[in-house]
Structure 1
Amino acid sequence: MDKEDADPVIAAFYRAALEPAQWDAALRAFARLAGGDVACCFLKAEAGMAPSRACVTGLDEQAWEHGYRRYYHTLDPGYAVLTRAPPGRMHLMQDYFSEQAVARSEYFQDFYLRAGVRYSCSGVVRDNGALTILSAHRAAGQGAYDRNTRRQLQRVLDHLPNVFRLRDTAQQAQAHGALAWEALDALPRAILLVDACLRLVFMNLAAQRLLAATSPFASVITMHGGKVAVRVSQLQQQLGQRVRQVCVGLACHCPAPLYASDEDGRPALEIGILPLPVRIGQAGGDGASLAMLALRPLFRAGRRHWPSTAERPCGLTGAEWALALALADGMDAAEYAQRKGVRISTVRSQIQSILAKTGTHRSSEIASLFSALEWQAGAQP
């Protein structure tokens, strides 16, 4: 899994949104990301109803059609797990079903294991009022999932609602296989489309609002001569290199998002870089490939809820997030370790991880970075 990353898989799903024939390729990429061979994405309106729409890869048609869709969907214990929790989170089914439960289950013994699969990582999102389930499956010999794999699969699930919005809008515009500007405008995430030279080709409405002249992010990322620019020269070089790689189809050796800093040197804007599967030529240009920059603001004060995994900036874990807020409240590492009942070496290791992820250099800078936040007291990650 260390050599795999979610970004190419996310890009494959966006391509499938515009080119329906690519759904199977997207699911194959999702299965590879999971370290397995089987993946599926299907719509299920109610618990007792068969899936009304499905795309499956790695599982033969008979096992799916004559097995799951016709009978075993009514026995699937994973569906109960997914519907008990709010949508939007990937679940490792190995956490819910012991070996003893598997041995007693008709679903596992007569269908799942016989189909050649054993471990599942699954999540649901809302799609036109019904639940769409995205799952990756491993055979018994491929072993159980680890937490890092789950985090990578979670990143894909986080994008799925936007993928569906893009799909629906593109279908309404009858823009199969072509770039639909209206579809990108419908996305709530700020999106910039650029060519290999960082020349701006398109900016959706969410990006226009984010980069408005009165926005605090207007000084973080700007337009000069029709090109996208960030205020730090080193970051500008990294952005340019990543965009060129994406546009020529090269695998990125550092696929994690980039972070642009504000005038005080604090990370302010996350920049995700994804290949766009549509060429300019399909929209009347010269046939060159594009890169999609997905922008997400960080550290906005005044939000009154504990952030979900997807919302935590800079990829902080829940434990790192709690420690960062404690440092912002004036607590030192020793006191935090005593209160949490953990070793001071553990806390110091977490501090080093926070420093690396946020681009800060000492604990006092972490405290300064997080001190302006107004998170609800007593909430848990």
Structure 2
Amino acid sequence: MHAQGADPVIAAFYRAALEPGQWCAAMQAFAQLAGGEVACCFLKAETGTAPSRAYLSGIEEQAWEDGYRRYYHALDPGYAVLTCGTPGRMHLMQEYFSERTVAHSEYFQDFYLRVGVRYSCSGIVRDDDGLTILSAHRAAGQGRYDARTRAQLQRVLDHLPNVLRLRDTAQQAQVRGTLAWKALDALPRAILLVDASLRLVYMNPAAQCLLTVTPQVPPLIALRGGNFGLVVGSVQQQLAQRVRLACANLACARPAPLYLADADGRPALEIGILPVALPLEQGWHGEVPRLAMLSLRPLFRAARRQGAAVAARPWRLTGAEWALALALADGVESASYALRQGVCISTVRSQIQAILRKTGTRRSNEIASLFSALEWGTGALP
């Protein structure tokens, strides 16, 4: 796995969105994060069609063109897993296909194993009217995936819709100096750009909305004299240090996001820090200044109480289902939850089945992932 975690890989994808020549580097970084050598990102107009566009790393393009794109894409059993589940989730294919299945599959025997790979972790997102698949692959000798690696790859997939939107906006722009700003304005994720001294250089509309509409966020942020800051001193110190490193294009020893807690001590805001180099104005000449990109994400489970209004609950969940989903997102086991609530385990299991049915998920751990990842207050709720 990449020694610095997912953040440098996410930064590489955003850079590739603005600089197409960097897609190879982004895919190599993604493969390294996965602990393998092969990674693919490709677009399909619909499930039964051949991929129309692809970014590859670690696999010969000729093998891809003559093998996968020409024929084996139609036999790939992974599509059934990806298209039947909720988009935006990374799946460990080792959980779906046994050794017996692999041994009797034309796809695995005649293509997948022949190009030197055995285990994959794949996810799918909607890309306009098509499907974009992001996958990482390991050879048999590199071993199966574990949950921690899947979680790191999931973080990259979470950013992929924004990366693709940024790429498309960049391709449509005519003037290089305005392209980055137009692209960032289009992102639904709250983005701020600051210099090494935390001076606020740019804030996209999603960030403006977040800082004015989402009630739990403004008390955690301090905007004074054009500088971005946090009310918690210890986290502010970490932020300042991380921003200086990002602006200097230096590696961070702890690249994971920073977290701020609400008044009750629960995580309420995630702050990702990524290095970025963008022209400050149209027609910029000379060296592009280094900035730090702050990606703000309010944490779904910290924003509400169990008594949230019916209109605020996604998927028409009942109050009991809502409370259970939030508990699962916080890592509470169903048996412990039943004991805590004073109900039968069969009642909790029935509620889990109802949540699965309403959300389109298939397992309780998918419920936990879904509710942990959802954004609150930025229009991301279904």
Same-fold call, TM cutoff 0.5: yes
**Residue 278 of structure 2 aligns to a residue in which SS?**
strand
Matched, 1:171 2:175: no
**CA deviation vs aligned residue, 1:47-97 (integer Å, no higher than 9, x gap):** 331101111111011210111011111111111211111211111111111
* Residue equivalent to 1:17: 17
**CA deviation vs aligned residue, 1:191-250 (integer Å, no higher than 9, x gap):** 110111111110000111111288442221121121101111111111000111111112
* Residue equivalent to 2:321: none
Q: Distance in 1 between matches of 2:139 and 2:186?
A: 39
Q: Distance in 2 between matches of 1:69 and 1:214?
A: 45
Please state how far the C-alpha of 1:134 moved relative to its aligned partner: 0.5
Matched, 1:300 2:303: yes
**2:313 partner amino acid:** R
* Residue equivalent to 1:235: 235
Change (3 A) 1:324 1:198: farther
Q: Distance in 2 between matches of 1:201 and 1:21?
A: 27
**CA deviation vs aligned residue, 1:342-370 (integer Å, no higher than 9, x gap):** xxxxxxxxxxxxxxxxxxxxxxxxxxxxx
Q: Distance in 2 between matches of 1:273 and 1:243?
A: 7
* Residue equivalent to 2:154: 154
Please state how far the C-alpha of 1:158 moved relative to its aligned partner: 0.6
Q: Distance in 2 between matches of 1:21 and 1:77?
A: 31
Q: Distance in 1 between matches of 2:184 and 2:289?
A: 19
**2:111 partner amino acid:** F
Change (3 A) 1:26 1:326: same
**1:300 partner amino acid:** A
Partners of 1:18 and 1:177 within 8 A in 2: no
Q: Taking every aligned residue pair, what percent have the same amino acid on both sides?
A: 66
**Residue 250 of structure 1 aligns to a residue in which SS?**
coil
**Residue 269 of structure 2 aligns to a residue in which SS?**
strand
Q: Distance in 2 between matches of 1:199 and 1:62?
A: 48
Q: Distance in 2 between matches of 1:88 and 1:320?
A: 20
**Residue 212 of structure 1 aligns to a residue in which SS?**
helix
Please state how far the C-alpha of 1:323 moved relative to its aligned partner: 5.6
* Residue equivalent to 1:80: 80
Partners of 1:31 and 1:137 within 8 A in 2: yes
Is 48-57 or 266-275 further displaced after alignment?
266-275
Partners of 1:19 and 1:176 within 8 A in 2: no
* Residue equivalent to 1:45: 45
* Residue equivalent to 1:291: 292
Change (3 A) 1:109 1:15: same
Change (3 A) 1:232 1:281: same
* Residue equivalent to 2:5: 5
**Residue 81 of structure 2 aligns to a residue in which SS?**
helix
Alignment of 1:1-381 (within 5 A): 1=1, 3-174=3-174, 180-212=180-212, 215-262=215-262, 265-278=265-278, 280=280, 284=284, 287-298=288-299, 299-301=302-304, 302=308, 303-305=312-314, 318=328, 320-322=330-332, 331=340
Is 275-284 or 110-119 further displaced after alignment?
275-284
Partners of 2:235 and 2:260 within 8 A in 1: yes
Q: Distance in 2 between matches of 1:85 and 1:219?
A: 37
**Residue 110 of structure 1 aligns to a residue in which SS?**
helix
Instruction: Give the TM-score normalised by the residue count of structure 1.
Output: 0.78
**Residue 86 of structure 1 aligns to a residue in which SS?**
coil
Say what the alpha-carbon RMSD is for the aligned residues.
2.9
Question: How many pairs align?
Answer: 327
Q: Distance in 1 between matches of 2:177 and 2:32?
A: 25
Partners of 2:4 and 2:253 within 8 A in 1: no
Partners of 1:279 and 1:289 within 8 A in 2: no
Partners of 1:89 and 1:124 within 8 A in 2: yes
Partners of 2:257 and 2:273 within 8 A in 1: yes
**Residue 55 of structure 1 aligns to a residue in which SS?**
strand
**2:242 partner amino acid:** R
**Residue 124 of structure 1 aligns to a residue in which SS?**
strand
Please state how far the C-alpha of 1:4 moved relative to its aligned partner: 4.1
**CA deviation vs aligned residue, 1:158-181 (integer Å, no higher than 9, x gap):** 110111111112222235597521
Is 89-98 or 247-256 further displaced after alignment?
247-256
Q: Distance in 2 between matches of 1:317 and 1:175?
A: 48
Instruction: Give the TM-score normalised by the residue count of structure 2.
Output: 0.78
Q: Distance in 2 between matches of 1:54 and 1:223?
A: 42
Partners of 1:34 and 1:137 within 8 A in 2: yes
Change (3 A) 1:16 1:49: same
Change (3 A) 1:214 1:151: closer
Q: Distance in 1 between matches of 2:198 and 2:335?
A: 36
